[in-house]
Amino acid sequence: MASVKISRRGAKRIRNGHLWVYRSDVRAADDAAGGQIVRVSDEAGNAVGQAFYSDQSEIALRFLTTGEETIDREWWRARLRRSAARRASIALETNAYRLVYSEGDLLPSLIVDTYDDVLVMQTLSQGTEQLKSTLAELLGEEFTPRTIVERNDARVRELEGLDRRAATLYGEASEEIEINQHGVRFLASPLGGQKTGAFLDQRENYLAARRVAHGRALDCFTFNGGFALHVASACESVLGIDISADAIAVAERNAVRNSAGNVEFRAANVFDAMREFEASGERFDTIILDPPAFAKNRASLASAARGYKEINLRALKLLNPGGVLVTISACMIGHARQRKAAHIQHNHLHTQHDVINQPWHRDTRQHLVDIHNHTPKEHPFRNPTGVGLGDFPGVRDNHGPR
């Protein structure tokens, strides 16, 4: 096994629960090749653990263990089984959920989503890419899917020097699959939809929104109608808006599948539509904001903050007295626990970076009620740059699954 030596600072961070070592903390990696599992030691020669090594990314090491375990085919099988065991109760509620959540399951850079009898995997580093065939075989042996698809078209692969692709690895190609969340039926496209086919991380937020939704509802950035169709049973009418005509077409098909006659979808720019609603005096009792990530990097944080503030301000102006605003931040920069969290609070609204927690909200408090959701159960939280190696010897973790 090749060896990599890291700085004392890097070793300290791993021993304190971090999962990654950046290239600036690598002191020697002479015999290590990209994608290999390497033995890591500190500058004094003390063992730190074993990790995937990347010769391209600034994330040079992604730790698999801080122990002396033998990492072989059965080691990977055991980790996959543990991930599945953590989600046994979720599998009783839906046929679409995240089976493996990379660092959250101590399977760094590996994502596996379940869509009924189809598994969709992402290998997002040189390490998991090198093991892709083995991982696909193990997934087939353990879960007997009809199809295994790779959705390796994520831009992050380019940082690892990897190409972007989407293809069927095993079984028959599946254009569309029907999934069921809380009795609501949706169409998902593993080879062509958003992310790995659908937004699985909103499942619990859908229920949070349904609990407070009422009257006339507006679902902004509706995509496939996830929020609109979930709140339909609690509302008199629902209007879903998205700029993508293709997404609206799928949302309309989903409405038909659910016999949701009180739901209408419209292809439009959300910002423009909200300006038009305000000008025409239209008002709503429930407004749901689930925008895409406005901040893709730190350079765009300022403009993202302005975008979040504007859209929440416009939504508040469109609410009837006693109305509810559900606002969701998908910003990719900042504390991981804040991402994809629904915030409906009595005293103030939060979006990423607390841009909404400002004095202008004081006259609109009557519109807000209390709800706070975190990430879904199958997305266990482990901050790769903070705490989180709870399954590793000698490191305590209160943030992730056991």
Looking up residue 166, the CATH number of its domain turns out to be: 3.30.750.80
Question: 30 and 4 in contact (C-beta within 8 Å)?
Answer: no
pLDDT band at residue 199 using 50, 70 and 90 as cut-offs: confident
**How do 319-329 and 341-344 pair as beta strands?**
antiparallel
Q: Which of the listed residues 39, 65, 91 is the one where a domain comes to its end?
A: 65
Report pLDDT for 339: 37
Report pLDDT for 179: 93
pLDDT over threshold 80, residue 383:
no
Residues 48 and 86 in one domain: no
Distance CA 382, CA 83 (A): 14
* Strand spans (E) along 236-387: 237-242, 263-267, 284-289, 319-329, 341-344, 371-372
Residues 281 and 328 in one domain: yes
Residues 173 and 84 in one domain: yes
pLDDT 10s digits, 131-155: 999 999 999 999 999 999 999 999 9
Distance CA 27, CA 43 (A): 8
* Cα dihedral value 334, 128, 83, 13, nearest 10: -50
Distance CA 67, CA 89 (A): 30
Question: 288 and 218 in contact (C-beta within 8 Å)?
Answer: yes
Kindly report the length of the chain: 402
Residues 97 and 55 in one domain: no
Is residue 21 in some structural domain? yes
| CATH number of the domain within which 207 lies | 3.40.50.150
Question: 221 and 240 in contact (C-beta within 8 Å)?
Answer: no
pLDDT over threshold 70, residue 396:
no
| C-alpha 26, offset from chain centre | 29
Residues 221 and 368 in one domain: yes
pLDDT over threshold 70, residue 381:
no
Is residue 184 in some structural domain? no
Report pLDDT for 393: 32
Please tell me the total count of domains within the chain. Answer: 3
As a whole number, mean pLDDT of residues 26-54 equals 97
> How are the residues of the chain apportioned to helix, strand and coil, as percentages rounded to the nearest 5?
35, 25, 40
Question: 312 and 345 in contact (C-beta within 8 Å)?
Answer: no
As a whole number, mean pLDDT of residues 48-62 equals 98
pLDDT over threshold 50, residue 367:
no
Distance CA 242, CA 254 (A): 15
pLDDT over threshold 60, residue 188:
yes
Report pLDDT for 373: 47
Report pLDDT for 330: 57
Residues 229 and 334 in one domain: yes
Is residue 343 in some structural domain? yes
Q: Which of the listed residues 179, 207, 241 is the one where a domain comes to its end?
A: 179
pLDDT band at residue 379 using 50, 70 and 90 as cut-offs: low
As a whole number, mean pLDDT of residues 85-111 equals 93
Report pLDDT for 93: 84
| CATH number of the domain within which 8 lies | 2.30.130.10
As a whole number, mean pLDDT of residues 214-229 equals 96
Crossing angle of the two packed helices 73-86 and 132-143, in degrees rounded to 10:
50
Residues 257 and 340 in one domain: yes
pLDDT band at residue 86 using 50, 70 and 90 as cut-offs: very high
Phi-psi region of 116 (alpha: psi -120 to 50; beta: other; left: phi over 0): left
Report pLDDT for 402: 26
pLDDT band at residue 197 using 50, 70 and 90 as cut-offs: low
Q: Which of the listed residues 65, 82, 104 is the one where a domain comes to its end?
A: 65
Q: What percent of the chain has pLDDT over 70?
A: 78
Residue 171: which domain range?
A: 73-179
Is residue 394 in some structural domain? no
pLDDT over threshold 50, residue 321:
yes
Residues 115 and 58 in one domain: no
Residues 124 and 11 in one domain: no
Distance CA 193, CA 266 (A): 19
Return phi, psi of residue 101, to 5°. -120, 60
| Average pLDDT, rounded, for the chain | 83
Written as six digits, the tokens of 113 are 């989503």
213: amino acid identity, one letter: A
Is residue 392 in some structural domain? no
| C-alpha 282, offset from chain centre | 33
pLDDT 10s digits, 162-182: 999 999 999 987 788 999 998
pLDDT over threshold 80, residue 343:
no
Residues 264 and 329 in one domain: yes
pLDDT band at residue 359 using 50, 70 and 90 as cut-offs: very low
Report pLDDT for 334: 40
pLDDT over threshold 70, residue 23:
yes
Q: How far is CA 231 from CA 90, 127, 216, 217, 245, in A?
A: 21, 42, 10, 8, 22
Q: Of 298, 332, 319, 389, which Cα lies nearest the Cα of 361?
A: 319
pLDDT winner (highest mean) among 169-178, 204-213, 267-276: 267-276
pLDDT winner (highest mean) among 78-82, 324-328, 361-365: 78-82
Lowest-pLDDT choice from 20-29, 191-200, 218-227, 327-336: 327-336
Report pLDDT for 200: 83
Q: How far is CA 97 from CA 114, 168, 203, 366, in A?
A: 5, 19, 9, 36
Residues 140 and 221 in one domain: no
pLDDT over threshold 90, residue 391:
no
Q: Of 257, 255, 253, which Cα lies nearest the Cα of 239?
A: 255
Is residue 381 in some structural domain? no
Report pLDDT for 341: 39
Residues 170 and 225 in one domain: no
Is residue 398 in some structural domain? no
Q: How far is CA 319 from CA 90, 226, 240, 306, in A?
A: 35, 21, 16, 20
Is residue 189 in some structural domain? no
As a whole number, mean pLDDT of residues 275-280 equals 96
